[in-house]
Amino acid sequence: MSVRIGLCIGMVAILCSCAAQVKEAVVAQKEVLQEATQAPEAPAPAEAKNPFFEVFDTPFGVPPFEKIKVGHYVPAVTKGIEQQKTQVDEIANSTQAPTFANTVEALDRSGELLSKVLPVFFSIRSAHTNDQVEKVAEQVVPLLTKHRDDIYLNDKLFQRIRAIYEQQKELSLTVEQKTLLEDNYQRFVRAGANLGQEQKLEARAINEKLSVASLKFSQNILKENNRFEMVLDNKADLAGLPQRVITGAEIAAKERNHEGKWVFTLHKPSLIPFLQYSDKRELREKMFKGYIERGNHGDELDNKGLIAEIIALRLRKANLLGYKTFADFTLDRRMAKTADAVTELLDEVWKPALAASKKEAKALQKMIRKSGEKFKLEAWDWWYYTEKLRKAKYALDESELRPYFKMENVRDGAFDLAARLYGIKFVPRTDLPVYHPEVTTFEVLDADGSHLGVFYVDYFPRASKRGGAWCGGFRSQTIENGKRIAPIVTNVGNFSKPTGDKPALLSMDEVETLFHEFGHALHSLFSNVTYDGLQIETDFVELPSQIMENWAWEPEFLKTYARHYETNEPIPEALIEKIQKSDRFNQGFITLEYLAACYLDMAWHTLEKPTEEDVMSFENKVLKKLGLIPEIVTRYRSPYFAHIFSGAFYAAGYYSYIWSAVLDADAFQAFKETGLFDKTVAASFRDNVLSRGGSEDPMALYKRFRGAAPKTRPLLVRKGFKK
């Protein structure tokens, strides 16, 4: 199986930024965990003992985590690079006439060892890192950057690729083969294969600097997340907080050696409930500012200098390759194609969202005055008064809902949905190695009982895990010698943990996120393509995830999985009605804070010359021009905008979520029109979207499923912006 050579560094981007990727019990592994997080790293083990140099002797070939030590990674990556270099040299120097099989396919199959080690390393780095793992990243990322350039700037290899590309009309290639050929040719060109020697050297230097800067950016954010803590020792400061939040703060205090006190952190299960429920306005402000000032303290973890460097390097790279801006370079290979097309969509949604958010702000300010207070609504008040307004307007208190969203029930609900739509089954496995005791594993069986893949879930926050939720994996799906190689997929999250004698009870947002990442997992599990190097376009990859969110709140399905954790009683009709009535509540805020980040991303990447303006001044100017109201802060401020600065996967591409939202709202109409669980529609969605990966033009795939191009109206109606 080949490594996705075009994505060696892309793995760093995806696993260090996305919202697009790896969701995160064996007693013996507790010792392995302790060793990995506390013990000093031993010298690199002998080759014979390195598990990456051997066949994984485990069920389904999953990684043997109990055998993998940090010291194994560098030797394995180094040897993997050497192996692929030899293979590439053989392809490039072949005396045989170039063919699809001996060049394009051979290149795709190269780098088996890197395909084995890189998904494991970058998954662990995102889900369970430590100082030793970060030091390995500092070593291997530059090596991989150079290796990628050695491949894409290999002129002999490119000439063979180009020869096949120019004669493809005469070849009998499948659609998938044509796509792989096109992708490969474009990767070489976009990497600089057509540049002169001096320009190639400059491109190499740019890539190396970018890889180091992006890595440093992500490391700084992880450290920022972990170093902030708000320690409270006065019980009066807990006013308004639900008991589960207080209990969680007690546990956090013990873990951080603040026995007898309460600790609140920037992890979402701690941050969001505090902003929602704390009666102490000055403490809400402290927490909120702690979150939005990450990477902006003028110290060793400050990211502003890195941002200026990254933006300048990306622009220079785009210019080298003949593009006016980095956005032009990036969007040329995405569904949107142009920055104007992106802006047109953003503007279409921004205008009604801005109007809605202004109405929401007025309603919150009115509630503040009604409560006898005279202060002006600020960003750290929004969550608090929104929760109060939700309760007053719809009699809906999220604390009333959480008992019905036990994590295991929600997860099993997602499994049941997949079974009803596609006939697949998730079978718990306790015999598979895991990288942390909190991880659980499942074998996934297709409708006919055949093996479809393996699924790992890792849902709770810890200091060794980056923030957010994502989907990734330890092995991608391919077909080799006519046999399907099944994927090993992961879902990782930072959801509310069990507290005291209560299980993990999720918020509505966490429920939605679980279904979202599960949609990504289904996309990977259903994949049925031949080649590893087929890349799914960023603005299409969120369709399979976002469409799953629709089912989560449909009353017919909600009743099946939302059960009280103590009584097992299904969620009452009265609560379902409240959820339905409030489904468009706060949509102005939700949409506006996301869109502001999209505009900010595009503003950075449509620069035609490096800006000497201070990073925060630039950001403020962009948001002011948009008319973003001061009561709402952009979802990601530049110094912690990991999606676009920890790697390039979502750079000039954060708009992808709203682009895909148009697709998912339109696609879900097919189910609404025929039945939520219509197997014919589900089979068409699986066959034309989920199983095809990046094997064909995404719009062609979508039209084959839906029969026409998507319309924006279903999305605007869903958000309440149109009737």
Q: What is the mean pLDDT of residues 450-466?
A: 97
The pTM score is 0.92
State the Cα–Cα distance between residues 2 and 5, nearest whole angstrom.
8
Return the pLDDT at 424: 98
Q: Which of 5-14, 225-234, 385-394 has the lowest mean pLDDT?
A: 5-14
**What is the pLDDT, as a whole number, of residue 425?**
98
**pLDDT at site 294:** 98
Q: Provide the 3-class DSSP secondary structure of residue 68.
A: coil
DSSP 48: G
User: Mean pLDDT, to the nearest integer, of 34-61?
Assistant: 67
d(CA 3, CA 135): 23
Summarize pLDDT for 509-562 with one digit per residue, the tens.
999 999 999 999 999 999 999 999 999 999 999 999 999 999 999 999 999 999
Share of the chain above pLDDT 70, in %: 93
Token pair 């709770």 is found at 460
Cβ 574 vs Cβ 559: under 8 Å: no
pLDDT over 90 for what percent of the chain? 92
Read off the amino acid at residue 89: D
Domains of the chain with bracketed CATH: 5-220 (1.10.1370.40), 228-292 (no CATH), 304-396+587-654 (1.10.1370.10), 657-718 (no CATH)
String of DSSP letters for 328-390: HHHHTTSSS-SHHHHHHHHHHHHHHHHHHHHHHHHHHHHHHHHTT--PPP-HHHHHHHHHHHH
Residue 48 — pLDDT band, cuts 50, 70, 90? Answer: low
> Does residue 347 carry a pLDDT above 80?
yes
Is the CB of residue 300 less than 8 Å from the CB of residue 324? no
Kindly tell me if the per-residue pLDDT of 640 is higher than 50. yes
Q: How far apart are CA 364 and CA 378, in angstroms?
A: 10
Q: What is the pLDDT of residue 407?
A: 98
Output the pLDDT for position 723.
80
pLDDT at residue 496 tops 60: yes
Per-residue pLDDT tens over the stretch 134-151: 999 999 999 999 999 999
CA distance 539 to 650: 9
Choose the catalytic residue: 517, 549, 593, 696: 517
- pLDDT of 46 above 50: no
Residue the block writes with tokens 């005396």: 95
What is the C-alpha separation between 637 and 620, in angstroms, rounded? 10
pLDDT digits (tens, 9 = 90+) for 192-215: 999 999 999 999 999 999 999 999
In degrees rounded to 5, what are phi and psi of residue 499? -130, 130
Mean pLDDT, rounded, for 422-445: 98
Given a cut of 50, is residue 126 above it in pLDDT? Answer: yes
Smallest Cα–Cα separation from 497: which of 228, 292, 273, 287? Answer: 273
CB 332 within 8 A of CB 189: no
Residue 332 buriedness (CB in 10 A; 0-12 / 13-18 / 19+):
middle
Locus of tokens 């969605």 = 685
CB 720 within 8 A of CB 588: no
| Mean pLDDT, residues 633-642 | 98
**Which pLDDT tens digit goes with each residue over 469-493?**
999 999 999 999 999 999 999 999 9
Q: 7 versus 562: which is more confidently predicted? A: 562
Q: pLDDT band for 722, please (50, 70, 90 cuts).
A: confident
**pLDDT tens profile 161-193:** 999 999 999 999 999 999 999 999 999 999 999
Mean of per-residue pLDDT scores for the chain:
93
Report residue 34's pLDDT band, with 50, 70 and 90 as the boundaries: very low
Are 225 and 266 contacting, i.e. CB atoms less than 8 angstroms apart?
Answer: yes
Instruction: Determine the pLDDT at residue 61.
Output: 98
Residue 369 has pLDDT above 70, yes or no: yes
Provide mean pLDDT across the span 322-331. 98
pLDDT in tens, 659-688: 999 999 999 999 999 999 999 999 999 999
CB 36 within 8 A of CB 437: no
**Mean pLDDT of all residues in 408-417:** 98
Range 385-408 burial, b when 16+ CB lie within 10 A, else e: bbbbbbeeebebebbebbbbbbbe
* Rounded Cα gap, residues 361 and 631, in angstroms: 7
Read off the pLDDT band of 641 (50, 70, 90): very high
State both tokens at 154.
Answer: 């290999």
Q: Which residue has the higher pLDDT, 556 or 9?
A: 556
Q: Give the CB-side neighbour count of residue 336, counting CA atoms within 13 A.
A: 27
Catalytic annotation on 47?
no
Return the H-helix or E-strand segment holding 475.
strand 470-475
CA distances from 435 to 42, 54, 498 (A): 19, 19, 20
